Amino acid sequence: MVMIAMQSALLGWHAYRSSPVSDEYGHFYAGIRYWHHGDLHSFNVNPPLVRALGTLPAYLNWDELADFTPSFDMIDTLRSGALSRVSVRSEFPFGRELYATAPKRFQQQLFWGRLLVSLFAVAATVAVFRWGQTLYGVTQHNPSARKLSPYGSAIGLVAAGFWAFQPQVLAHGSLITNDIAVTAAMLVSSLCFGRWVRSLHWQDAALGGATLGLALSCKFTALLLCPIYLAFVIWRYCSTRQPRIIGQATLALAITLLVIALPYGFDGVGKPLGELKFSEDALYGQTNDEIASRFENAWFGGIPCPVPEQYLNGMDRQQSDFREGIISYAAGMNTTHGWWWFYLYSMLVKLPTGTLFAIAASLLYLIGRIFDRDHRWSISLDQVLIGCVAAAMIEITAYKSGFAQQHRYILPLYPFLFLLIVAPLARHYESKPGRIVNAGILVGLLATLIASIGIAPHWLGAFNTVSGGTENGHFHLFNDATDWGQDNDLVAHWIATHPQHRPLKLISSTGLGMGIREAYPEFAMLGRYNDPNQKWLIVSKSDLSRNPSLLHSLPTEPIEPIGASHLLFRVDNAAVPPIR
């Protein structure tokens, strides 16, 4: 309970002090459109469940939102084909415009929505603890007895602690985005699925189907669970030859599809696949009716669609993003495509040093077991399942390398990784090497907690000491890893309370896009000081990453950081770069 209370307090703190981040404008606008107009198309690259939950307080308490209409129309621009598919996400500028009309009201309602969504992070903490407790609490001498040892709860707490106090979990867990929600749902789904595969009870099959449907309703990332589950079902059937497995799997699938369809209001469920029309195909046409369905003449065109139409439409739109690529940055390199190693690299620089130390200690334990000829392996079904999900997350992120700019996409790996790295604690070592490994894991947890508290509440832009620390994070990653707009209020307050730093220029394009500068009078005032004699410059770390010429034109050391996302420089007249 102490851990849950601490995590909840930290999540609430970040939810309160963080400005809306880049993606939240789109999520908020799309969520409001969902509640007031039943709009399923806006932000359809993610299912509507999480944004609906995150905007429920605004829907209940902000009546004026029902009448909000953006002051500009992008439809004609989209149909003209002048913009690429990646850049035509109208929910983002519309959400920014909504924020600019009432920043304080927007932030207030966003805070309550963030608190609701942060329950996913807390639920994942409970799930990690429970799974670690049952997984490693089994006695080593009689694993089939399912008798919990006195160490089971302690091991579960260690695994849960690595999750609960991760800086990126605290940061993303308190935003109305999908990443922590799908992570928690995938974890709970895997826990319930493993229970069903062991027990083969009908109620466990039903629960497994419901939790898989919940995961698939949070984000398309959860689709990677489907082939893994299918493989385990086939293995279980082949090993037992029990016909009820087929019936239970069918029940679970039916419940999964039902849960997926609920947030969509069953829109398009049962529609022949040959009649489906995808928004990406219609983008360059005059009207959607003039675009022929890509499946119109396919052999499966008459098969009823088992999921909502916009569910498939969103997946198609997301794949278009992967194919076209987006500006990517890592390790000082800019490109329009990604790298297979990006997410492994992002973990290397973002995970706290203590967590990396614990991972290294656990790997040493594994290597020692491999070379121990007297060792007899005893791996449970749950451990195999956890390992399969972890390996699949690494594989899918390496394969989907169309762009590399969002560290948060690897977050679903975290709880499964933490459940694996605490495995050595389940063995009661009497040897010195064994005690060193276990001590290393516990020290790693303590160091993780200290590092997380030390950087609070700037978790979103945190980097470990191995990478050079948070102050040097912009040399490694950008976007959601450095400046995602979380410090807009902080930067505005700093400018207002430091009038001696004039003339002053602000370069911050990632967090301060269309419609956002207008919401801050502090930023608007900077225009009068935008002249060749400027001596002071505030730069977003994301802009430093994306613009090497800007970075090289500045002094080597900044005067001071502003939060974890911006830096203050004093520059000579000739060194002032142009505003981008």
Segment 81-134, tens digit of pLDDT: 444 444 467 888 899 989 988 999 999 999 999 999 999 999 999 999 999 999
Residues linked to residue 272 through DSSP beta bridges, in sequence order: 304
Contact, 415 vs 163, CB < 8 A?
Answer: yes
**Separation CA 375–CA 371 (nearest Å):** 9
SS3 329: strand
Residues linked to residue 507 through DSSP beta bridges, in sequence order: 539
**Separation CA 240–CA 237 (nearest Å):** 5
Mean pLDDT on 1-8: 94
Least confident of 323-327, 445-449, 453-457: 323-327
Segment 553-572, tens digit of pLDDT: 888 889 999 999 999 999 87
Only one residue has tokens 């079902």, namely 233
pLDDT score for 79: 42
DSSP structure class, residue 118: T
Contact, 308 vs 384, CB < 8 A?
Answer: no
DSSP structure class, residue 571: -
pLDDT score for 414: 98
Whether the per-residue pLDDT at 145 is higher than 60: the answer is no
Give this prediction's pTM: 0.91
**Separation CA 382–CA 377 (nearest Å):** 14
Residue 103 CB: number of other CB atoms within 10 A?
18
pLDDT score for 430: 59
Residue 72 neighbours by CB under 8 Å, 6+ apart: 93, 97
Only one residue has tokens 């086939």, namely 234
Q: Which helix (H) or strand (E) holds 560?
A: strand 560-562
**Separation CA 433–CA 185 (nearest Å):** 37
**Most confidently modeled of 80-94, 109-123, 283-297, 539-553?**
109-123
Whether the per-residue pLDDT at 576 is higher than 60: the answer is no
Mean pLDDT on 14-23: 95
Whether the per-residue pLDDT at 380 is higher than 90: the answer is no
Whether the per-residue pLDDT at 379 is higher than 50: the answer is yes
Whether the per-residue pLDDT at 47 is higher than 70: the answer is yes
352 is written with which tokens?
């706290």
Contact, 74 vs 93, CB < 8 A?
Answer: yes
Task: Render 383-401 in DSSP notation, one character per residue.
Answer: HHHHHHHHHHHHHHHHH--
**Percentage above 90 pLDDT, the chain:** 60
SS3 304: strand
pLDDT score for 84: 44
Q: Where are the domains of the chain?
A: 343-466, 470-575
**Separation CA 375–CA 357 (nearest Å):** 25
Segment 396-431, tens digit of pLDDT: 888 776 667 788 999 999 999 999 999 998 876 657
pLDDT score for 326: 72
Per-residue confidence band for 77, with pLDDT thresholds at 50, 70 and 90: very low
Least confident of 131-135, 171-175, 406-410, 515-519: 515-519
Going by C-alpha positions, the residue among 482, 504, 508, 486 that lies closest to residue 495 is: 504
Mean pLDDT on 344-355: 96
pLDDT score for 327: 77
Residues linked to residue 561 through DSSP beta bridges, in sequence order: 567
**Separation CA 227–CA 312 (nearest Å):** 18
Only one residue has tokens 């893994």, namely 228
CA distances from 254 to 215, 245, 260, 308, 309 (A): 15, 14, 10, 14, 17
Per-residue confidence band for 277, with pLDDT thresholds at 50, 70 and 90: confident
Going by C-alpha positions, the residue among 276, 319, 322 that lies closest to residue 300 is: 276
pLDDT score for 463: 96
Per-residue confidence band for 513, with pLDDT thresholds at 50, 70 and 90: low
Going by C-alpha positions, the residue among 169, 174, 263 that lies closest to residue 216 is: 263
Whether the per-residue pLDDT at 323 is higher than 80: the answer is no
Segment 202-244, tens digit of pLDDT: 999 999 999 999 999 999 999 999 999 999 999 999 999 899 9
CA distances from 394 to 121, 148, 398, 411, 510 (A): 21, 32, 6, 11, 27
